[in-house]
Copies of this chain bind each other. A is one copy, B any other.
Amino acid sequence: MTSSNSKPPKRLSEFALIAKLFAPLAAKAEGAFGLTDDAATVRLAPGQELVVTVDALVEGVHFLNSDPAGAIAKKALRVNLSDLAAKGAEPRGYLLALSLPDWVDNDWLTRFASGLGEDQERYGIDLLGGDTTSTPGPLTLSITAMGPVPEGQMLRRAGAKPGDLVFVSGTIGDAGAGLALLKGEGAGLPMNERESLIARYRLPEPRTALGPLLLGIASAALDVSDGLMADLGHIAEVSGVRVVIEAPRIPLSSGLVTLWGKGAGAVARAVTSGDDYEIAFTAPESARAGLVAAARESGVPVHEIGRVEKGAGVVLLDEEGAPIPINRPGYTHF
């Protein structure tokens, strides 16, 4: 773990900070050397390869500085765990690059590290190393997460074939509904449903138990972060196929149905809101039995929502089989 700063000391010294808060997070990882070195090592069993992924989160873009420090830590870790899960990888370790503005104090760092520690326990991943710097701007952090898969088996966006079926884990649109509630919609919604939707927005639940069980079953997979339509669009594009999904089969939570109903408009909204962090994947019909077993073993519900055809793009059909127009498939990227 390294750090750099051109300013006079304000917080705990670098080494005290690392030793006190972060070294315990690396204590179980053999290649982390207790964060006393500049780099970490990762070993693989014979026949494995390492899946690596990085996500950056920026204050004011992905979270607010009023969000609890522990929740920011967990969200940063979980969006990466979701990527690993959708690629079929077991979580192993992560590197943390942290750019800290002046308002971050030792208490904040303590709560941040505590959030990481809780999720490390929950998901079975260890801190391997990192870098801390100061920043004159917003708190910015990036996490590089890694975990093994059998060689050549990583679930990719490419690989969906005409005739495959389309599946998604959990329920879709809850995070979008949670955000809508925070923006003032649905004032009359019962408190338990309200809290459950907002929780889905605030803290993703990466499907780490399901992902690795999809190896050898799924033909293509990704995690749903931009919106189901947009993300299935990535599979369609990279696989060179058309994805057809059926609105009545999109899994909606009871809270979302109470808020938005279950008509075409509600489904269209659910499949175009982001931050679901479910796994969307395709698989041949012959994989159905294996899938049922994987869903049961992981405890994660899986729903069949459509099929793969020749062609391009993604289409959402209503119960009559007519396309539901979608203006904006998901998050706007630059």
Contacts and interface: CB of A to CB of B under 8 A. Distances in A.
Interface of A: 2-15, 17, 31, 33, 36-44, 46, 49-62, 83-84, 86-87, 89, 95-100, 128-138, 140, 142, 144, 146, 149, 151, 154, 156-158, 222-223, 225-226, 238, 331-334
A53 B39 contact: yes
A86 B334 CA distance: 37
A208 B31 CA distance: 22
Number of copies: 2
Contact of A129 (B7, B53, B84, B331): B53
30 contacts: A2-B225, A4-B61, A5-B331, A7-B334, A14-B334, A15-B333, A37-B154, A37-B222, A38-B87, A39-B89, A41-B49, A41-B52, A41-B149, A42-B52, A43-B151, A44-B49, A50-B50, A52-B144, A54-B96, A56-B133, A57-B133, A58-B99, A58-B134, A58-B135, A58-B140, A60-B135, A95-B144, A100-B334, A134-B334, A144-B144
B37 A140 contact: no
A87 to B, nearest CB: 5
A312 to B, nearest CB: 14
Contacts of A332: 5-9
Nearest to A42: B50
Contact of A136 (B11, B33, B60, B100): B60
Nearest to A128: B52
Contacts of A130: 54
A52 B40 contact: yes
A331 B31 CA distance: 27
B31 A49 contact: yes
Nearest to A239: B36
A86 B37 CA distance: 11
A39 B52 contact: yes
A158 B33 contact: yes
Given A40-B52, A58-B135, 12 more contacts: A4-B331, A6-B331, A12-B334, A37-B156, A39-B87, A40-B51, A40-B53, A41-B52, A58-B137, A60-B135, A97-B142, A100-B334
A321 to B, nearest CB: 30
Contacts of A86: 38
A110 to B, nearest CB: 15
Contacts of A58: 99, 133-137, 140
Residue among A40, A156, A223 with most chain B CB within 10 A:
A40
